[in-house]
């Protein structure tokens, strides 16, 4: 089976054509600068092919058309005709309270995604554009929506309700939703497999990348997660502030006389986090580590603050789960940052977590990194959101 996985953003669109059973990726790529000018980067891993082409992309429709064209291209393509694509799986950011799992796309599903635009104003319109562009390019092809929020819908009210007047929940659905759900589902499922599928399990997943979130998972079901109504909440991230006292927003807006609430939120999303703590140097942990090694105190603070906050969340989620069997690190920093993992785990020695320093050198591979006498297993498990989307798509089509 060939599944085309699409992750459409407002000005970009990532794609992978893959086999959901084996996980083999036949081709993958990125359309950038949609709505501006347009550039396609296309790769065929088995043939070491990398093609970069400037192609006008006034809308997502032209981007999808360019993807279809290169996938069937005699030289750089991997299929003879679009008929060889069995189905399309879309990453959709916000499923609100309507979607607890992935769903075959029909008019009702599209309307429900549209209804969630107030909750995901930046991403849901782009996700819909990706879906509609695929409908146009491949009429009648089965399509599936896989929601970033769905895995977290098993949270109990005490975890998802905000302590604000009830009418905002009842009338406006304001609550914690959480994101990166496809990654948390993939990685927690794998962790449970690696533990030998015990009947009962308590797992904390640390998805640490440019965006970061943690989840507390009991018996395979999410109990709590660090992002909230939007991905701004939780630990400090590459450019997002993470949890912040709302009065900080009031103070900054009073001080910066011309700043609108949208400008302020834009700053909290794009100019904060470790980038702000490093005095604007970088949101990339590799740059911060290099800076700290040169003796840059701001880089050092950015790294230490990040690890401290992640460590605190793990402590809180261990209490939420009333114990812990397995701690997992995933995503760019989680998979590739031994120093970060070591610093985070230094806050957890009190609960018997001990790393194996040799195993913790791993970068990008699945590996148990806890010492044999650690009371809690600690793993690095590479995430694969595209595979999860492809598997859900294959199952529903
Ligand atoms: P992601 O959002 O999951 O793609 O993660 C991206 C982030 O992972 C980058 O911003 C880097 O900070 C981090 N990262 C990737 N590779 C490495 C590495 N080898 N060492 C440390 N951090 C890394």
- Give, as one character, the DSSP assignment of residue 101: S
Rounded to the nearest integer, the mean pLDDT of the chain is 97
d(CA 226, ligand 1 centre) in Å: 20
d(CA 194, ligand 1 centre) in Å: 24
238 close to ligand 1 (CB < 6 Angstrom): yes
Question: What confidence tens digit (pLDDT) does each residue in 12-32 have?
Answer: 999 999 999 999 999 999 999
209 close to ligand 1 (CB < 6 Angstrom): yes
pLDDT of amino acid 293? 98
Closest ligand 1 atom number to CA of residue 331: 3
284 close to ligand 1 (CB < 6 Angstrom): yes
pLDDT grade for 10, boundaries at 50, 70 and 90:
confident
Q: Name the H helices within the chain.
A: 60-71, 107-115, 124-137, 157-160, 166-170, 181-194, 246-255, 261-270, 273-277, 285-293, 297-321, 331-336, 338-346, 385-396
Q: Residue 249: is its pLDDT beyond 90?
A: yes
Q: Span 132-155, mean pLDDT? A: 96
Q: Measuring CA to CA, which residue among 73, 74, 111, 72 is closest to residue 95?
A: 111
Question: What confidence tens digit (pLDDT) does each residue in 348-386 have?
Answer: 999 999 999 999 999 999 999 999 999 999 999 999 999
Is residue 392 flagged as an active site residue?
no
For residue 332, give Cα distances in angstroms to 175, 204, 210, 212, 234.
Answer: 28, 17, 7, 10, 17
Question: What confidence tens digit (pLDDT) does each residue in 309-343 have?
Answer: 999 999 999 999 999 999 999 999 999 999 999 99
Question: What confidence tens digit (pLDDT) does each residue in 263-295 have?
Answer: 999 999 999 999 999 999 999 999 999 999 999
Instruction: Choose the catalytic residue: 148, 224, 325, 392.
Output: 148
Radius of gyration of the chain (CA): 21
pLDDT grade for 122, boundaries at 50, 70 and 90:
confident
Q: Measuring CA to CA, which residue among 283, 299, 164, 311 is closest to residue 226?
A: 311
Q: Measuring CA to CA, which residue among 166, 118, 148 is closest to residue 225?
A: 148
Question: What confidence tens digit (pLDDT) does each residue in 188-224 have?
Answer: 999 999 999 999 999 999 999 999 999 999 999 999 9
**Alpha-carbon span 220 to 218, nearest angstrom:** 5
């Amino acid at each position: 089976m060939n599944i085309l996985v699409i992750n459409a953003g407002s000005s970009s669109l990532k794609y992978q054509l893959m086999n959901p059973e084996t996980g083999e990726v036949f081709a993958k790529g990125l359309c950038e600068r949609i709505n501006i000018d347009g550039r396609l980067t296309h790769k065929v891993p088995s043939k070491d092919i990398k093609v970069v082409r400037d192609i006008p992309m006034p809308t997502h429709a032209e981007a999808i058309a360019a993807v279809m064209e290169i996938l069937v291209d005699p030289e750089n393509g991997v299929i003879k005709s679009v008929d060889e694509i069995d189905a399309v799986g879309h990453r959709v950011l916000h499923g609100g309270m309507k979607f607890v799992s992935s769903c075959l796309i029909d008019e009702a599903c599209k309307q429900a995604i549209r209804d969630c635009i107030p909750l995901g104003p930046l991403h849901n319109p782009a996700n819909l554009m990706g879906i509609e562009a695929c409908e146009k390019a491949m009429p009648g092809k089965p399509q599936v929506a896989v929601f970033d929020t769905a895995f977290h819908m098993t949270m109990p009210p005490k975890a998802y309700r905000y302590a604000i007047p009830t009418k905002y929940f009842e009338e406006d659905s304001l609550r914690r939703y959480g994101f990166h759900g496809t990654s948390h589902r993939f990685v927690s499922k794998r962790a449970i497999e690696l533990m030998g599928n015990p009947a009962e399990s308590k797992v904390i997943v640390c998805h640490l990348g440019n965006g970061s979130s943690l989840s507390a998972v009991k018996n395979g079901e999410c109990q709590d997660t660090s992002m909230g109504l939007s991905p701004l909440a939780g630990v400090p991230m590459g450019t997002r502030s993470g949890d912040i006292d709302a009065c900080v927003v009031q103070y900054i807006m009073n001080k910066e006389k011309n700043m609108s609430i949208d400008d302020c939120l834009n700053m909290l999303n794009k100019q904060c986090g470790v980038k702000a703590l490093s005095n604007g140097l970088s949101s990339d942990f590799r740059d911060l580590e290099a800076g700290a090694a040169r003796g840059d105190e701001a880089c050092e603070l950015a790294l230490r603050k990040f690890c401290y906050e992640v460590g605190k969340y793990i402590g809180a989620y261990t209490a939420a789960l009333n114990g812990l069997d397995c701690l997992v690190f995933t995503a760019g920093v989680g998979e590739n940052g031994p120093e970060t993992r070591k610093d985070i785990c230094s806050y957890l020695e009190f609960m018997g977590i001990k790393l194996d320093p040799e195993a913790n050198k791993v970068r990008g591979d699945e590996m148990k990194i806890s010492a044999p006498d650690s009371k809690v297993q600690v793993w690095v498990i590479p995430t694969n959101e595209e595979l999860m989307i492809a598997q859900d798509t294959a199952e529903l089509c």
